[in-house]
């Protein structure tokens, strides 16, 4: 008896995917969008039993799909033991309730599915708190007319993870919990901000891109570090930073969370602390899956999120990945088009290593271009600083000044290092002057 209960508890969720193709949407675009929903469902661990679509001028106000189509879904769900309907759009609370009343199934919209994946994949304390906050905020907007709909459904997509116990609480409790979570996240954000300040001595590079574009594979190649890589959407949620050596200096490379079309605004805001690495970066490597049939739309989706983060004048290098998956005359034409639009772009395969040498050269060129040329007069007593400059800057010339007992140095140095070096020299001279006066 106990064994059967355990089996039932871990039984895979069975679902229908439901989509409405409105009049002006092309077949290829709609099918690709539904395929992405299928990938999201697979990432959530759902067994997709069938995909049901309907063409309408616009979605129905009460049930999103037509009443006849909803009845058809109900009739097909019972023999296939389907317990969940996943819609490729966001639904209103009343639509979810009405669909659930007719079908007898748990009804999940696109945002809830993405939130569920985030809940499943969150690993760090910060990521778990961020997911819980996003779940609570989304639940709060859908409380009205939803209690009856939720009362007979236990668990399932949309209610997994830390947010699932909030189904039975009222608005006041959700607000109280939301306030508490924001305070916890603020504390973590302050700690990470201090760590970030300590790292400001080095140039920072962040990988951004559409989910499953190959950012983590590229991160793994460039850093020689272990990083979870899978052919899934949102395989990694937590940003990770490692120091790497270039031909001229050490830099920090950060792998960030992947973006997606119509990424829920609450996720962008909830993951603000994680995305601060993008805000602080000196250079963004925008990784794009060049084999994707709608890569222009993928690029647009990422740019939209970057705009939400208010990143306007950031240096961005387009990195077209997965070149090993494409070829022929069509790709040559496509590559020429992309090169015209993005002249500084680079084409690579993170998996095979193709083009990585050219990418390294592009990074080196950026670092060189953004270095400062400075003439320094360093007291000879500051030998450790002189040694530091030999290791971390390009020393063009140096000459000992016996009269001033100092080293005259002409250097090319990164923008991050120079302010601190300047302060050290000024402080040394100030303390020397104070001691002399005494």
pLDDT in tens, 72-117: 999 999 999 999 999 998 898 899 999 999 999 999 999 889 888 8
Task: Please indicate, yes or no, whether residues 286 and 385 belong to a single structural domain of this protein.
Answer: no
pLDDT of residue 164: 46
2 lies in a domain? no
The contacts of residue 292 (CB under 8 Å, 6+ apart) are 210, 298
Residue 8 lies in a domain: no
Residue corresponding to tokens 């303390």? 431
Q: Are 316 and 284 in contact (CB under 8 A)?
A: yes
Question: Which pLDDT does position 310 carry in this prediction?
Answer: 78
Domain boundary among 85, 113, 141: 113
pLDDT tens digits, residue range 219-252?
999 998 665 555 556 655 567 888 888 877 788 8
Same domain, residue pair 353 and 226: yes
Question: Are 44 and 161 within one domain?
Answer: no
260 and 273 within one domain: yes
What local confidence, expressed as pLDDT, does residue 433 receive?
79
Question: Which of the listed residues 186, 212, 231 is the one where a domain comes to its end?
Answer: 186
Q: Report the pLDDT value the prediction gives residue 416, as an integer from 0 to 100.
A: 78
pLDDT tens digits, one per residue of 112-144: 898 888 887 777 787 788 888 888 888 777 764
Three-state secondary structure readout of 341-369: HCCCCEECCCCCCCCHHHHHHHHHHHHHH
More confident site: 435 or 223: 223
Residues 144 and 266 in one domain: no
Higher pLDDT, residue 424 or 163: 424
Given this model, what pLDDT does residue 4 score? Answer: 37
Residues 224 and 363 in one domain: yes
The average pLDDT across 287-308 equals 90
Q: Residue 3: its pLDDT value, please?
A: 38
For residues 336-348, average pLDDT: 95
Here the tokens at position 7 are: 């089996």
Residue 152 has pLDDT above 50, yes or no: no
* Helical segments of 57-160, H only: 67-77, 93-103, 110-121, 125-141, 147-151
Q: Answer yes or no: do 219 and 329 share one domain.
A: yes
Confidence of residue 286 (pLDDT cuts 50, 70, 90): very high
Residues 219 and 354 in one domain: yes
225 and 331 share one domain: yes
Q: Per mean pLDDT, which range of 60-64, 151-155, 180-184, 293-297 is the poorest?
A: 151-155
Does 347 lie in the same domain as 234?
yes
Q: How confident is the model at residue 287 (pLDDT cuts 50, 70, 90)?
A: very high
pLDDT at 222: 92
Which of the residue ranges 153-167, 253-267, 382-396, 423-437 has the most confident prediction, judged by mean pLDDT? 382-396
Q: How is residue 249 written in tokens?
A: 């200096």
As a whole number, mean pLDDT of residues 52-59 equals 94
Domain housing 403: 371-437
Q: Residue 322 in contact with residue 293, Cβ under 8 Å?
A: no
What is the model's pLDDT at position 148?
A: 43
- Mean pLDDT for the stretch of residues 136-160: 57
Q: How many domains does the chain have?
A: 4
Share of the chain above pLDDT 70, in %: 82
What CATH number is associated with residue 50?
3.40.50.11060
Instruction: Give a yes or no: residue 209 inside a domain.
Output: yes
Domain boundary among 95, 113, 131: 113
Write out the two tokens for 429: 């001279």
């Amino acid at each position: 008896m106990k064994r059967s209960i355990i089996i039932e508890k871990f039984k895979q969720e069975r679902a229908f995917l439901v989509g409405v193709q409105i009049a002006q949407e092309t077949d290829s675009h709609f099918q690709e969008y539904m395929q992405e929903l299928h990938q999201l469902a697979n990432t959530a661990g759902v067994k997709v039993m069938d995909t049901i679509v309907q063409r309408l001028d616009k979605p129905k106000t009460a049930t999103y799909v037509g009443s006849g189509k909803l009845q058809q879904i109900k009739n097909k769900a019972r023999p296939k033991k389907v317990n969940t309907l996943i819609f490729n759009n966001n639904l209103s609370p009343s639509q979810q309730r009405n669909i659930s009343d007719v079908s007898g199934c748990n009804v999940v919209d696109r945002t809830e599915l993405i939130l569920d994946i985030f809940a499943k994949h969150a690993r760090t304390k910060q990521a778990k708190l961020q997911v819980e906050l996003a779940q609570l905020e989304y639940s709060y907007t859908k409380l009205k007319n939803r209690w009856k709909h939720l009362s007979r459904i236990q668990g399932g997509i949309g209610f997994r993870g830390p947010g699932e116990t909030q189904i039975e609480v009222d608005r006041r409790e959700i607000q109280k919990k939301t306030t508490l979570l924001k305070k916890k996240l603020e504390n973590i954000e302050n700690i990470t901000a201090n760590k970030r300040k300590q790292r400001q001595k080095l140039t920072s590079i962040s990988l951004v891109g559409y989910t499953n574009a190959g950012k983590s594979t590229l991160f793994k190649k460039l850093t020689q570090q272990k990083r979870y890589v899978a052919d899934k959407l949102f395989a990694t949620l937590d940003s990770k930073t490692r120091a790497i050596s270039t031909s001229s200096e050490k830099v920090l490379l950060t792998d960030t969370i992947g973006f997606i079309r119509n990424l829920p605004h609450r996720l962008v805001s909830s993951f603000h602390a994680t995305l601060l690495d993008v805000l602080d970066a000196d250079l963004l490597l925008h990784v794009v899956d060049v084999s994707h049939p709608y890569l222009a739309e993928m690029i647009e989706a990422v740019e939209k999120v970057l705009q939400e983060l208010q990143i306007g004048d950031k240096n961005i290098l387009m990195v077209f990945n997965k070149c090993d998956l494409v070829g022929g005359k069509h790709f040559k034409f496509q590559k020429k088009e992309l090169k015209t639009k993005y002249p500084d772009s680079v084409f690579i395969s993170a998996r095979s290593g193709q083009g990585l040498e050219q990418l390294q050269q592009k990074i080196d060129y950026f670092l060189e271009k953004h270095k400062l040329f400075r003439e320094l007069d360093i007291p000879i007593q500051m030998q450790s600083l002189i040694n530091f400059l030999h290791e971390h800057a390009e020393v063009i010339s140096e000459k000992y000044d016996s009269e001033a007992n100092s080293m005259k140095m002409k250097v090319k140095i990164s923008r991050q290092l120079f302010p601190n070096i300047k302060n050290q020299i000024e402080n040394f001279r100030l303390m020397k002057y104070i001691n002399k006066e005494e």
